[in-house]
A and B are shown apart, each in its own frame.
Chain A
Amino acid sequence: MACNGSNCQANCHRDEDERAARSDDVSSTAAVDGSGAVCVKCKANEPIPTAAISRGGEVGRFCADCFRSNLFAKFRHAVTSNAMISPADNVLVAFSGGHASRVALQFVHDMQYKAQKNFDASRDRSLPVFGVGVAFIDESTGYPITSSEMDRVLGDMKLMVSQLSPPTKELHIFPVHSVYSEGSRDSRERLKELLDRVSDATGKEDLLVHLRMLSLQKIASDNGYNRIVLGSCISRFASHVLSATVKGQGYSLPADIQYVDARWGVPLVFPLRDCLAQELSMLCHLDGLKTVELPNVPCSSINSLVSSFVALLQEENPSRECTIVRTAGKLTPFHFNRIPEINDCNVPLATRRRQKRSNLKLNGSISSESCCPICFSPLNKADLGSLETRQSASDVFGAACCSSCQFQILPQDSSDMEQFCSLLPEALFSRAKQSNYYDFGSLREQIQDYLLPDSETDP
C-alpha cells in the first residue's frame, strides 16, 4: 500500500535491485564452481563451496578461514563494544544443543582460552581470567521426550563440555520444574498442571520460554555467575520482532532485541546478535562442532507461523532478516539494555578500565516503571487498568500482567485465577509483589478486618 506513495521509489524498487544483486551473486558463484575464483577477503584461497548448505550471509564469498574469522570478529565486536564480558566475570553460557548456542559456547571458550594464555604469560597478573559455566535446561516436563532419548542427549552434552577444556567448565543440568522453590512438593506434576491449564498453544510456548529464563536466572544466582550468554542470532531476533508485533507487544519489543538485557537479576547478553542462522550452522558444519538435536514437536502456534513466514521472506531476499532487525533497532531501548557500570572500588582498576562503554545512547532510552510479572516486559502506563476495585491477591496479580500474557497465558475465567496462581512458581508470583500495584492490595489485605463494607475506603 505504501508502495504507490509519491516518494517511495527507494522501497518499492529495492526488491528488484536486490534480486538483481542476487542474480549477480549467483552468476559469480557459478563462476566459482567452474574456474578458480578466490575468497573476496584474502584473495588467495578458494571460497567455501555453496552447494553443501543453503546460502546466506557471507557464506559463499569467503574461504573457510576468512569466514571463521569474520564470524568471530562479529562476536568479539559485540562483546567488547557492549562490555558483555570483563576479566572478573563469571559467565554462564545457555546451551540448548542447537547450532547457535553451540557456536556461542565455542566462541566464549576461544576467548577464555586466549585470556588464559595471556594471563599465564603476563607478569603482574592484574587481569584475571573470566570463568565459564554451561547451563542446559531440561524441558522434558513440557515436551514429549522419552527418558532414554533424554539420557542420550545429556550424555552427549556432558562429553562435549568436558572436551572444551582447559579451563574446566561446569555443566549445570537443570530440569525446568526446579524453578519451584526447594521443598515444594511434586514440582514436576505442578508444572505439568500449570501448562495444561494454558489452553492457547502460543501461550504455553511463551510460558515455557519465561520459565526457561527464570531457570537460567536461578542457576546463575545460585552458582555465582554474573552474566548469562545466549546464542540468539539475527534470524531469531527477526522472528521475535514480528511475533512480538503480532502479539501486541510493540511497546516492550525494543527491550528484547538489544545486545544486553539487564532487567533480570543477572544480565543476559547476546553476542551473536549480528550473525545469521545459516552462518552459524555453516560454522558448525565446517569445524565439526557437534550439536545435540532434540526432536522437533510440530505446533500450530503464532511463533511457528511467524518463523515460517520469516524463512519464506529470507528465501525471497537474503537480507530481509537484517532489515527487520535493523528497523526494530530504531525503536527506543530501555535503560536496562546496557551493562551497569562498575563503581566498586574493590574491582581492580585494570578491569574497570577495560570495561568499554557501549555506544547505546542513554538519553534516548526510557526509564521504566513496572514490569509484567510473567514475561517481565515493561508495561505501557496507558495499558494498566485500574486496580482499585481488585481485592484478592490473584486478581491483583492478573491485573499486573501485560495484556498479551493476560490473553494467552492467564485463564479467561476469573474464577480459575486463584487456582492458576497457586500453580505458578513462587518466584513468578513474588515478582508481582515487588511492583507497586501489589502493595496496594497487600496493604488492603492487612487492614481488611477494619474496613466497613461499602464505605469509601479507596483512596
Chain B
Amino acid sequence: MAESHAKVQKVGGGRLCCICNERRAALKRPKTLEQICRECFFAVFEEEIHQVIVENQLFNPGERIAIGASGGKDSTVLAYVLSELNRRHDYRLDLFLLSVDEGITGYRDDSLETVKRNEIQYGLPLKIVSYKDLYGWTMDEIVKIIGLKNNCTFCGVFRRQALDRGASLLKVDKLVTGHNADDIAETVLLNILRGDIARLSRCTAITTGEDGPIPRCKPFKYTYEKEIVMYAYFKRLDYFSTECIYSPNAYRGFAREFIKDLERIRPRAILDIIKSGENFRIATSTKMPEQGTCERCGYISSQKWCKACVLLEGLNRGLPKLGIGRTRVLDKDQKKDLKQSIGTKSIASKQCGSLDF
C-alpha cells in the first residue's frame, strides 16, 4: 500500500492529497500511510471518532459527560474533539472537564494550569478533585514516607477512585478517558504476557463498568497515538508534555517499544491486536474474580476492603507497606539484591499517569 501511494502523481513540486486531490499533501497519515493534506487529516480524524461514537452508541442525547483531563495530549485532544463534535453533530451533551490533583509539586500544579486554560479555551466547566481533600494525603507527602518505590501504586489506585468520586460530584452519567489505540494494544499484549485472562477478556471493551455507578468509555479506542500528537501539533493545541517527576522513565516499557517497532513495519498491527483482543473466545468455565463492594467505603472491590482503603489504612497507621506486594515477606538482604538487580526497564510502559480500565 505504501508504495502505491508513494507513486501518486507529483504536481508542482509536491504530491496532491489523495483524498481531496486538490491541495498539496502535507503529511503521511500514520494509520494508513496515505499522503493527505492538513484539512483532510482533520476531517478524517474527527469523522473516525464520530463514527466510533455513533456505532458504539457511546452517548445518549441529554447526558452529562465528564472528560478525564490531565492536561496531557490525549485528554486535551479528546476535550477539543468532543466539544467540536458535540457542536457539529448536535449530540446534545453537557461536557465537563474532570481533573485529579495528586499533589505533585512541579508536575501536577503545572499541568493543572494547562487544564484551567483549556477550561476557558473550550468553554467547558472544570472540576478538580484532590488527593488531599479525598484522602488527606498529597503524593508529595506519600513519597516522603514511602520513597520512590511503589509510589505509583498509591497514585494509580487513588486516581481511579478519585475520578469516580469526582464524576459523582459532578453528577455525570459517563466518564470518558483519552486511552488511545496504542494503549489498548499494549494492554492486550501485557495481559497475555502476565497471564491475566480476566483482564484480557475485558480490556478491549469500549465501555466498561456499565454495571457500576458511572460507566467509562474510550472514544479514542481506534485512534493512533501518533495521529493524536499530529492533530495537537497542527491544531496548535495547548497541552502539557512533561513526565511525572516521581516516575520519569515510565515510558520505557518493552511492550511499548515492541508496538512501536510493529507499527513501523505494519501500521495496521495496532488495530489488528485490538481486533484479536475483541475476538478472543474465553471459555465460560474460566474462573473470573467476583466483584463486590468495599465494606468501608462502598466502592467496587473484589476483596473485603478496596485497595484504596487498604493503602490509606496503612498510611494512617504508619505502616505504608501495607497492601503493597505479596504477603510473602522477603528478608532484608534479598530485598537489597532485588533492588540492585532490577533495572529501570520493565515490560509495562505506564506504571502511572494513566487511568486503569
Identify the A interface with B (CB < 8 A): 1-17, 19-20, 23, 199-200, 202, 241-242, 244-251, 253-254, 300-302, 305, 309, 312-313, 316, 320, 323-324, 326-328, 330-332, 361, 364, 366, 380, 404, 407, 412
Contacts and interface: CB of A to CB of B under 8 A. Distances in A.
Given A241-B192, A250-B275, A4 B326 contact: no
B280 A1 contact: no
B241 to A, nearest CB: 19
Contacts of B3: 199
B280 A250 contact: yes
B328 A248 contact: no
B254 to A, nearest CB: 7
A423 B334 CA distance: 62
Nearest to A27: B337
Q: Can you list the 10 inter-chain pairs with the closest CB atoms, starting with the nearest?
A: A4-B156, A250-B276, A248-B272, A6-B307, A251-B279, A250-B279, A332-B281, A245-B276, A248-B275, A327-B195
Interface string B283-313: 1111001000000000001110011100000
Interface in B260-290: 261-262, 265-266, 268-269, 271-273, 275-286, 289
Contacts of A324: 192-193, 195
A331 B338 contact: no
B194 to A, nearest CB: 5
Nearest to A254: B281
B216 interface: no
12 contacts: A17-B328, A199-B3, A244-B276, A245-B273, A247-B272, A248-B272, A250-B277, A250-B279, A302-B269, A309-B254, A327-B197, A364-B285
A412 B1 contact: yes
B190 A1 contact: yes
Nearest to A412: B1
Contacts of B285: 361, 364
Interface in B187-227: 187-197, 199-200, 203
A16 B338 contact: yes
B114 interface: no
Interface string B117-154: 00000000000000000000000000000000000110
Of the listed residues A7, A242, A247, A254, the one surrounded by the most CB atoms of chain B closer than 10 A to its CB is A7
B4 interface: yes
Of the listed residues A2, A15, A248, A300, the one surrounded by the most CB atoms of chain B closer than 10 A to its CB is A2
A4 B262 contact: no
B203 A19 contact: no
A248 B266 CA distance: 12
B86 interface: no
Contacts of A250: 275-280
Contact of B283 (A7, A301, A323, A364): A364
Contact of A242 (B159, B189, B266): B189
Nearest to A309: B258
B346 A4 contact: no
Given A6-B307, A332-B281, A245 B192 contact: yes
A316 B323 CA distance: 26
Given A251-B280, A332-B281, A412-B1, 20 more contacts: A2-B187, A2-B203, A3-B190, A4-B153, A4-B155, A8-B196, A11-B196, A13-B324, A23-B337, A246-B273, A249-B276, A250-B278, A253-B276, A309-B261, A312-B254, A324-B193, A327-B192, A327-B193, A330-B286, A331-B283
Contacts of B271: 248
B156 A5 contact: yes
B157 A6 contact: yes
Given A250-B276, A300-B265, A327-B195, A2 B190 contact: yes
B231 interface: no
Contacts of B187: 1-2
A5 B240 CA distance: 25
B153 A12 contact: yes
Contacts of B157: 4-6
Nearest to A12: B153
Nearest to B275: A248
B354 interface: yes
B159 A4 contact: yes
B193 A323 contact: yes
B326 A10 contact: yes
Given A4-B155, A245-B188, A250-B277, A327 B325 contact: no
A250 B200 CA distance: 12
Contacts of B276: 244-251, 253
Of the listed residues B153, B155, B276, B277, the one surrounded by the most CB atoms of chain A closer than 10 A to its CB is B276
Contacts of A7: 289, 301-303, 307
A21 to B, nearest CB: 10
A320 B190 contact: no
Contacts of B199: 2, 5, 8
Contacts of A244: 276
Interface in B309-357: 323-326, 328, 330, 334, 337-338, 341-342, 346-352, 354, 356-357
A5 B280 contact: no
A201 B25 CA distance: 28
Contacts of B165: none
Contacts of A200: 266
Contacts of B279: 250-251, 380
Nearest to B158: A4
A412 B1 CA distance: 8
Contacts of A248: 271-273, 275-276
B64 interface: no
B102 interface: no
Contacts of B346: 15
A327 B268 CA distance: 24
Contacts of A380: 279
Contacts of A13: 324-326
A13 B254 CA distance: 17
A238 to B, nearest CB: 9
B23 interface: no
A11 B347 CA distance: 12
Of the listed residues B187, B306, B323, B341, the one surrounded by the most CB atoms of chain A closer than 10 A to its CB is B341
Contacts of A15: 346-347
Interface in B217-258: 254, 258
Contact of A19 (B159, B266, B280, B341): B341
B74 to A, nearest CB: 13
A8 B352 CA distance: 14
Given A9-B326, A380-B279, A4 B338 contact: no
Contacts of A249: 276
B50 interface: no
B101 interface: no
B183 interface: yes
Nearest to A407: B268
A383 to B, nearest CB: 8
B31 interface: no
Contacts of A16: 325, 338, 342
B325 A3 contact: no
A332 B254 contact: no
Given A3-B351, A9-B324, A244-B276, A19 B356 contact: no
A200 B354 CA distance: 35
A2 B1 contact: no
A330 B350 CA distance: 26
A97 B100 CA distance: 59
A251 B152 CA distance: 35
